[in-house]
Chain A
Amino acid sequence: MLEVNKENFEQEVLNQKGLVLVDYWSPKCEPCMELLPSMEELEAKFESVKFCKLDILKNRRLAIGQKVMGLPTILIYLDGEKKGELSKDFSIEDVEQKLRELGA
């Protein structure tokens, strides 16, 4: 998963064609830590989707700018536009389903 931050977010996420998934996480968030390994497995399954993760401890303002104020949150962008969102209690299967809904 590509680590995105305030320097590269615009280029790697907003200016990208196709589907980009961003996992908003923090090392203090236990449910986020639970999720990360399964996200990496999912990444291998979806070659057409660009998987990124964003550590909110270092990029708090950027996250709030994306209207993320709770973890874990997954946002899925299509051509730079926010199309899908999962927050708090969701499973890895929900993420997979959301990606398929969006055509992955």
Chain B
Amino acid sequence: MAEVYDIIIIGAGPGGLAAGIYASRSKLKTLVIEKGRVGGQAATTEEMENYPGYFSGTTGPELMEKMHQHAQHFGCQFVKDEVVDLELGEFQKTVITKKGRYHAKAVIIGSGAQPRPLGVMGEQELKGKGVSYCATCDADFFEDLDVVVVGNGDAAIEEAIYLTRFAAKVSIIVIHDEGILDATKVIQERALANDKIEFVWNSVLEEIKGDGLVESVLVKNLKTGEVTDLEANGVFIFVGTVPRTQFLQGKVDLDERGYIPTSQLMETSQDGVYAVGDVRQKYLRQVVTAASDGAIAAVAAEKFIHEEENFQTEVLQKEKVAVMFWTPMEQACLDQVPLVEEMAAAGKLDLVKIDTYRNQRIARRYNIEQLPTLLFLEDGAETGRETGPLTREKLQSHF
């Protein structure tokens, strides 16, 4: 019998690591599968000053290493491997990697996102030859040289500021009118005060030129239509991200952009499968929100495992059992519980009550549309059901 984990987490970014901390601290047997190095995108950014409690000099890689150690401290296991496929649908799920197969009762997907390419001429050919999506990786090449940054969100402006420590001049190509940036105010102010930074407003990058290495870029002014050839040795592109969900096609529901829609409990379209961090459809993609997702998913997954295991032993593995779906929020349900309990006791039939307010998943599985509903099962298979109002006459034949 192969080893079965309680929870397998795909990806060791802040979402996956927070889930790993919560799950392993709850004594769940937890495995994190990471294809590269622990830390995710957060480990590729130097500036990290909006994670609560960390503001003076802590870098992205340092913070992520602490989270890694934190998870290990509670017994979370890590393996370096790449997930290529999943077998879902059953309580025991299989995660298929390049090197093997792993089994778990719940899966948390934190595979993250990667920089979105701009899609302009020359970008692909000059990647690694001056075109970059990672300032910490490549900034050193551009000491005393001129670089161009494309984008104007937090990432673009923060990385532009970081680049001024190396480059002679940093030109930021901004699609908006003069003075308008998508980045947070505090970051904007810092950039506007930096005399190595020059803004090129109302403009888009049209082409990256160079023979072997980047030599210049063509910048088009959207107002005048004028195209300028701007000399530059490097082009740093920060225009958002795309989710890493190719391996999930047909496995869980994805939105039109490839992100995973989830419930408030981080549940995906598959029972026992959760999504956390940047890979999820969400409003704000930050280390702190990824960590929050991870905590929620781990707690939800723990509850899922507990409920499913309970349902298996209390219901599915019983020779004969009655299951009452009810909710204490409805008076009709409250009124009918004593009768059902009395008749079950008299008929010596095990009765399991499921509060649908707390557990909607099992109710959905049995297509429970009305409360209360009483289900009768033999050896895990449904043999009959009665819907409310449950009367002595209706129940007589079952007990």
Contacts and interface: CB of A to CB of B under 8 A. Distances in A.
B39 A30 contact: yes
B140 interface: yes
A87 interface: yes
Given A30-B39, A31-B44, A69 B137 contact: no
The 4 tightest CB contacts between A and B, nearest first, are: A87-B128, A70-B128, A29-B137, A34-B37
Interface in A63-100: 63-64, 67-73, 87-89, 91
Range of interface residues on chain B?
20 to 34
Contacts of A72: 137
A104 interface: no
Q: Looking at B37, B131, B132, B234, which has the most chain A CB atoms within 10 Å of its CB? A: B37
A83 to B, nearest CB: 15
B127 A88 contact: yes
Given A68-B128, A69-B234, A70-B130, A28 B137 contact: yes
B269 to A, nearest CB: 29
Interface of B: 36-37, 39, 43-44, 61, 82, 114, 127-134, 136-141, 143, 212-214, 233-234
Nearest to B212: A67
A26 interface: yes
23 contacts: A26-B137, A28-B137, A29-B134, A30-B36, A30-B37, A30-B44, A30-B134, A30-B137, A32-B137, A68-B128, A69-B214, A69-B234, A70-B127, A70-B129, A70-B131, A70-B138, A71-B128, A71-B138, A87-B128, A87-B129, A88-B128, A88-B133, A91-B82
Contacts of B36: 30-31, 34
A53 interface: no
Contacts of B133: 88
B136 A30 contact: yes
Contacts of A29: 134, 136-138
A52 interface: no
A87 B127 contact: yes
A34 B64 CA distance: 14
A28 B45 CA distance: 10
Nearest to B136: A28
Contacts of B82: 91
Contacts of B138: 29, 69-71
Interface of A: 26, 28-34, 56-57, 60, 63-64, 67-73, 87-89, 91
Contact of B137 (A31, A60, A67): A31
Nearest to B135: A28
B137 A70 contact: yes
B134 A69 contact: no
A30 B130 contact: no
Contacts of B61: 30
A30 B44 CA distance: 6
Contact of A26 (B39, B140, B212): B140
Contacts of B214: 69
A69 B137 CA distance: 10
A63 B130 CA distance: 12
A65 to B, nearest CB: 10
Given A31-B134, A68-B128, A72-B137, 18 more contacts: A29-B134, A29-B136, A29-B137, A30-B136, A30-B137, A31-B36, A34-B37, A56-B141, A60-B140, A63-B141, A67-B212, A67-B213, A69-B128, A69-B141, A69-B233, A71-B134, A73-B128, A87-B128
Nearest to B60: A30
Contacts of A67: 129, 212-213
A60 B143 contact: yes
Which of B44, B134, B233: most chain A CB closer than 10 A?
A: B134
A103 to B, nearest CB: 24
Contacts of B134: 29-31, 71
Nearest to A38: B80
A73 B82 CA distance: 21
Contacts of A64: 141, 213
Given A31-B134, A67-B212, A69-B233, A56 B129 contact: no
A57 B37 CA distance: 21
A34 B137 CA distance: 12
Contacts of A88: 127-128, 133
Nearest to B131: A70
